[in-house]
Structure 1
Amino acid sequence: MKSKLLWLFAAVTFSVGAMAQQGPKIEFLAKDNTIDYGKVSKDTDNGIRSFEFKNTGDAPLIITNVQSTCGCTVPSKPKEPIAPGKTGKIEVKYNMNPGPIRKTITVESNAVNVEGGRVAIKIKGEVIAKDDVNILEKKKGVPTSDY
């Protein structure tokens, strides 16, 4: 009797573990789910970056929502489901206001490998303001002549 209960318990445990592994899974290719803009200038950078991900599960991955923490960062999600083994991308456009970049984007999906189907992706970096040159301002360090 004990042996049968032990086998039943082992079978149930294995079945539950196997079921938890089935379904779509999202794996981002960026290290720590973060893209580093580095130091960039608004004049030379459009602020668009792409987060690539792969569906490592065995069912279609559906991205249901992609939301930023503020209006200065606009993400766009894939419109079609991502088949198992295929990759997709989420584009993020930052408005390139001068100063530090520290933004979080929440991705909602049917992925079974992240809690509640939600995963946070981040952008970081710094937008450098171009130095304004005032031609009327007297330059420092330039020798002047007294005639």
Structure 2
Amino acid sequence: MKKKSVGLFSLSLMMLTVACKKESVADKITDADMKAIQTENAIAGKLAKVKFDKEVHDFGTIAEGAIVETEFMVTNIGDSDLIIHEAKGSCGCTVPQPPKEPIKPGDSAPIKVSFDSKGKPGEQEKSVTLKTNTVNGHEMFKIKANVTPAAK
């Protein structure tokens, strides 16, 4: 009986730990869910719409090996919550950090972007693509830099 109680206690503790893990809305949404949300919102005539504070950020001239960061402010100017399902840089050197929770109509949120210039001498232009529940299903912005080669 004691062994069974310990087993049940362990199972209960494990379930409680898993159930309490904080996940964002974006972590739980699949591509199929995004399509369904887009379709439902389009039928209702309510769509999320994105406005960025800038389309391109130019870091100017930086030294090779520098890691630089910027922020793009995204505003939802649509009629339904904006969901950013996924954010990807055009290469591994560009890392976006989008908000994890939906952005309400009229609200804004930052998207942090870092660029690692190691091994990237010369003129650089990288893009960030967001999978969203907007009409297009995706949005994009860019970063640029002139990377001065490291001394050899």
TM-score with structure 1 setting the length: 0.65
The equivalent position to 1:80 in structure 2, one of 92, 96, 101, is 101
The equivalent position to 1:34 in structure 2, one of 52, 56, 60, is 56
TM-superposed deviation, 1:46: 3.6
Unpaired runs of 5+ in structure 2? 1-41
In structure 1, the partner of 2:132 is 109
Q: Deviations along 1:64-104, whole A, 9 cap, x unmatched?
A: 00011111111111111111101112111111233222111
In structure 2, the partner of 1:127 is 147
Q: Distance in 2 between matches of 1:19 and 1:89?
A: 29
Q: Distance in 1 between matches of 2:97 and 2:80?
A: 22
In structure 2, the partner of 1:94 is 115
> Which segment is superposed worse, 103-112 or 93-102?
93-102
The DSSP-based 3-state class of the residue aligned with 2:91 is coil
Aligned length: 109
Q: Percent identity?
A: 36
Which AA in structure 2 matches 1:52?
A: M
| Structure 1 stretches of 4+ moved >3 Å | 18-21, 129-132
TM-score with structure 2 setting the length: 0.63
The DSSP-based 3-state class of the residue aligned with 2:60 is strand
Within the alignment, does 1:63 sit opposite 2:87 as a pair? no
Q: Point out the structure with max Rg over C-alpha.
A: 1
Which AA in structure 1 matches 2:52?
A: F
Q: Distance in 1 between matches of 2:45 and 2:148?
A: 45
Quote the RMSD (CA, aligned, Å): 2.3
Q: Deviations along 1:34-59, whole A, 9 cap, x unmatched?
A: 1111112357x641111111000121
TM-superposed deviation, 1:19: 6.3
TM-superposed deviation, 1:127: 1.9
The DSSP-based 3-state class of the residue aligned with 1:107 is strand
Within the alignment, does 1:118 sit opposite 2:141 as a pair? no
Unpaired runs of 5+ in structure 1? 1-17, 133-147
